Amino acid sequence: MNFQSGFVAVVGRPNVGKSTLINELIGQKLSITSHRPQTTRHRIHAIDTQCNYQMIFVDTPGIHIGNRKAINSYMNKTASSSLSEVDMILWLVEALKWTKEDERVMEHISKTKVPIILCVNKIDNLNSKDEVLPYLENLGEKFQANELFPLSAFNKNHTNDLRKLILKYLPQQKAIFESDYVTDRPHRFVVAEFIREKLIRNLSNELPYELTVEIEKFDLDGKMYRIAARIFVEKPSQKSIVIGDKGKMLKQIGEESRVSIEGYLESKVFLELWVKVRQGWSNDKRALASLGYD
C-alpha cells in the first residue's frame, strides 16, 4: 500500500500558533485564530487529503494552568483527551520563550508513546538564526523529541517541509475520511466559530472569554444560505458592548462574519445576529452542555 493516513494532534500552550499552522497545512481557513489566548475551545479535525496521503490534524485548545471556570476545565480536558488515539503529535513552542504552561504541556505529552515532532514556531521574529541555538540545546535537554523542526507558520517552504517530515511517521493505511471532507464538524459548527472569531477580534480583552455563539437557523434558500445566530454573554453591560453605539459594533461583526462564512460555504449568505444575556453560562456544566461544550 502506497497510501498513508492518520491523526496528528497539534498541541501547545495557548496562543502559540496552533490554529494558524493547521490552516496553513490544510491550505484553507478552518480553525479560527486571534492574538488572544484560549481562542480555540473545541477539538476540531482539519483534513488534508492528497493522492498519496490523508493527514487529519487535531486542533486542540491550549493546555493552560488552572480551571477557574467550568469552561476552562472543559478546554483542558478536551486538549488532554486529544492525545489519546492519535498517531503522532506536533508540539508547538515559541522561539526563545518557555513558560509554566509549556512545562504543563510537556508533562502531558511525556505520557504518550507516539512520535513527537517538536516545532519551534515564530523563528521569523529572530534577528539571527544563531539566537535560537542555545534555546534549541536547552529544549533538547528538557525533552527528547523524535524530530526538532524550526518553523515559521507563514512560510510555505517550512510547511511543505513539515508535511514531508510528518509522512516519515504517518502509518500506511487507507483513508479514514472521504476525500472531499475538510472537517468532521458540521457547517453549523464552523459558522458559529467564524462569528466567535470576529467577536474576539473586535471586542475588549476580557469579554471574549464570556461569550459564545449558537446557530438557531441554517437554511439553504435556493443559492443563498439564511443563517440566524444568537450571541450569549453573561451580563447586561456586556450585551451593550457587543451591540455598540447605535448597533455599530454588532453590524461590523455581522459584516465581517458574513464575508468569512461566504468564503467557507462558497455561497451568498444572509446573516442575522442577536445578543442575549445568559448569566453564568461559562461556569455552569449544564449550560455548557446545552451550548455544545460536551
94-126 pLDDT, tens digit each:
988 999 989 988 988 888 899 999 999 888 777
The listed CATH number (3.30.300.20, 3.30.70.920, 3.40.50.11900, 3.40.640.10) that belongs to domain 187-290: 3.30.300.20
**Long-range pairs for 98-107: beta carbons < 8 A, 24 or more residues apart:** 98/138, 99/13, 100/65, 101/13, 101/14, 101/62, 101/63, 101/64, 101/65, 102/12, 102/13, 104/13, 104/63, 104/64, 104/65, 105/11, 105/12, 105/13, 105/63, 106/142, 106/143
Q: Phi and psi (nearest 5°) for 44?
A: -130, 135
One-letter amino acid at 201 equals R
Could you tell me the sign of the dihedral formed by the alpha carbons of 187, 266, 220, 197, in that order? positive
pLDDT score for 178: 93
Is the model's pLDDT at 36 over the cut of 70?
no
153-181 pLDDT, tens digit each:
667 778 899 999 999 999 999 999 999 99
In the chain, where the domains are located: 4-167, 187-290
225-262 pLDDT, tens digit each:
999 999 999 889 989 999 999 999 999 999 999 999 99
pLDDT score for 163: 94
Mean pLDDT of 128-133: 78
Is the model's pLDDT at 217 over the cut of 80?
yes
Per-residue pLDDT band at 152 (split at 50, 70, 90):
confident
Where is average pLDDT lowest: 44-48, 133-137, 288-292? 288-292
17 versus 231: the higher-pLDDT residue is 231
Per-residue pLDDT band at 151 (split at 50, 70, 90):
confident
Q: What CA–CA distance (Å, rounded) separates 36 from 15? A: 6
pLDDT score for 64: 46
- Residues β-bridged to residue 276: 232
Mean pLDDT of 2-16: 90
Mean pLDDT of 177-196: 90
Is the model's pLDDT at 150 over the cut of 90?
no
Mean pLDDT of 214-228: 95
Is the model's pLDDT at 277 over the cut of 50?
yes
pLDDT score for 8: 95
The pTM (predicted TM-score) of the whole model is 0.79
Indicate the length of the chain as a whole number.
Answer: 294
Per-residue pLDDT band at 38 (split at 50, 70, 90):
low
Return the CATH fold of 4-167: Rossmann fold (3.40.50)
